[in-house]
C-alpha cells in the first residue's frame, strides 16, 4: 500500500527484512546508510499472518519516525499481496508444509496490513528483489541469489527489476527443488562441503538458463562461500544488503 511518489531529500526509510529464521530492521537514510543499529528477533513458529504482523510491529515500534516503510518478504508477492511463502507455511522451522498455514498466507494483503499498523506508505516485495536493489550495478543481466532458510532469486536488466519468478522452485536434483536442495535444513543434514558442491552446481545451472552477466549471492549462508564458489562473474554480498535495498526499491515507481 503506497501512494506517495515524491519524497524529501532527507527521506528516511524503515527497512524490514523478513526471514525464515529472523526478522531484522533498521532505519536507512536517502544515501543508503543505516541511521540506527539493526534490531533482530527470531522468527516465531508457527507464524501465521497475524502473528508475523504483531511481531514486526513490536520489533520496530521505536523506529517509526520515518517517511515510509520497505519490507523484504521470503516468498512470492504481487502488489503487496502474498501468493506463497514456503518458510512461513511450516509449523516449525524446517518442518513440513502445513496446509492451514499455507492457506492463511495465500492472498494475504501484507502491505495493507502493515500500512494500517504503521500509518506510513508501505511497500512489500520479495526479499531477493529488495536485496538486489542494493547491489546491482545497472549494467546487463544481473542475477541475485539469496541463501538462507530457502533460496531467493531476482533478475535485473540494465538496472530495471524484471517480473519476479520463483526460479528456485524448479527441479534441481534427486527430486529436490533448488529451494529445498540448497536450503538450510539440507545444509545441516548433508554438511557444508556437500552443500557447497550443490551451490556451485546450482550456479552453473542458473547460468545455463539465464546467461547472466553478473551474479550476486547474499543471505545468511552466503558467508560460507568463497570467491571460487561463485565463479568469475559472481560476488558475495553482505547480509545487510537486504536492509539497504529498502531505499532504492522505492525508485522502481519512478
Domains identified in the chain and CATH numbers: 13-129 (3.30.420.40), 137-242 (3.30.420.40)
Q: Which long-range contacts (CB under 8 A, 24 or more apart) does 174-182 make?
A: 178/151, 178/202, 178/205, 179/86, 179/150, 179/151, 180/150, 182/147, 182/150, 182/151
Give residue-wise pLDDT tens across range 9-41. 999 999 999 999 999 999 999 999 999 999 999
According to the model, what pLDDT value does residue 253 have?
65
Centre a 10 Å sphere on the Cβ of residue 28 and count the other Cβ atoms it contains: 26
pLDDT at residue 3 greater than cutoff 70:
no
CB-based contact 129:154 (threshold 8 Å)? yes
Give residue-wise pLDDT tens across range 191-248. 999 999 999 999 999 999 999 999 999 999 999 999 999 999 999 999 889 899 999 9
- What is the reported pTM? 0.91
According to the model, what pLDDT value does residue 94 have?
85
Give residue-wise pLDDT tens across range 134-175. 999 999 999 999 999 999 999 999 999 999 899 999 999 999
The cell for 213 is: 552477466
Give the pLDDT band of residue 1 (cuts 50, 70, 90).
Answer: low
Residues 6+ apart with CB under 8 A from 66: 12, 13, 14, 27, 120
CB-based contact 13:68 (threshold 8 Å)? yes
pLDDT at residue 47 greater than cutoff 70:
yes
Amino acid at each position: 500500500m503506497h501512494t506517495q511518489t515524491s519524497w524529501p531529500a532527507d527521506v528516511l526509510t524503515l527497512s524490514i527484512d523478513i526471514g525464515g529464521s529472523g526478522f531484522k530492521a533498521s532505519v536507512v537514510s536517502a544515501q543508503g546508510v543505516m541511521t540506527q543499529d539493526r534490531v533482530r528477533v527470531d522468527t516465531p513458529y508457527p507464524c501465521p499472518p497475524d502473528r508475523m504482523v504483531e511481531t514486526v510491529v513490536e520489533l520496530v515500534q521505536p523506529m517509526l519516525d520515518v517517511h515510509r516503510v520497505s519490507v523484504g518478504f521470503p516468498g512470492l508477492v504481487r502488489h503487496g499481496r502474498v501468493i506463497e511463502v514456503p518458510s512461513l507455511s511450516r509449523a516449525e522451522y524446517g518442518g513440513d508444509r502445513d496446509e492451514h498455514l499455507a492457506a492463511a498466507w495465500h492472498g494475504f494483503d501484507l502491505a495493507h496490513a502493515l500500512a494500517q499498523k504503521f500509518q506510513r506508505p508501505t511497500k512489500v516485495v520479495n526479499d531477493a528483489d529488495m536485496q538486489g536493489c542494493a547491489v546491482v550495478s545497472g549494467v546487463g543481466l544481473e542475477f541475485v541469489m539469496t541463501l538462507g532458510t530457502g533460496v531467493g532469486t531476482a533478475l535485473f536488466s540494465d538496472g530495471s527489476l524484471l517480473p519476479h519468478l520463483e526460479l528456485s522452485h524448479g527441479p534441481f536434483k534427486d527430486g529436490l527443488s533448488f529451494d529445498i536442495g540448497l536450503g538450510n535444513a539440507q545444509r545441516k543434514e548433508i554438511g557444508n562441503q556437500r552443500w557447497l558442491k550443490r551451490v556451485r552446481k546450482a550456479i552453473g545451472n542458473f547460468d545455463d538458463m539465464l546467461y547472466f552477466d553478473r551474479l550476486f549471492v547474499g543471505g545468511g549462508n552466503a558467508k560460507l562461500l568463497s570467491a571460487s564458489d561463485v565463479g568469475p562473474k559472481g560476488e558475495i554480498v553482505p547480509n545487510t544488503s537486504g536492509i539497504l535495498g529498502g531505499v532504492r526499491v522505492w525508485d522502481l515507481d519512478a
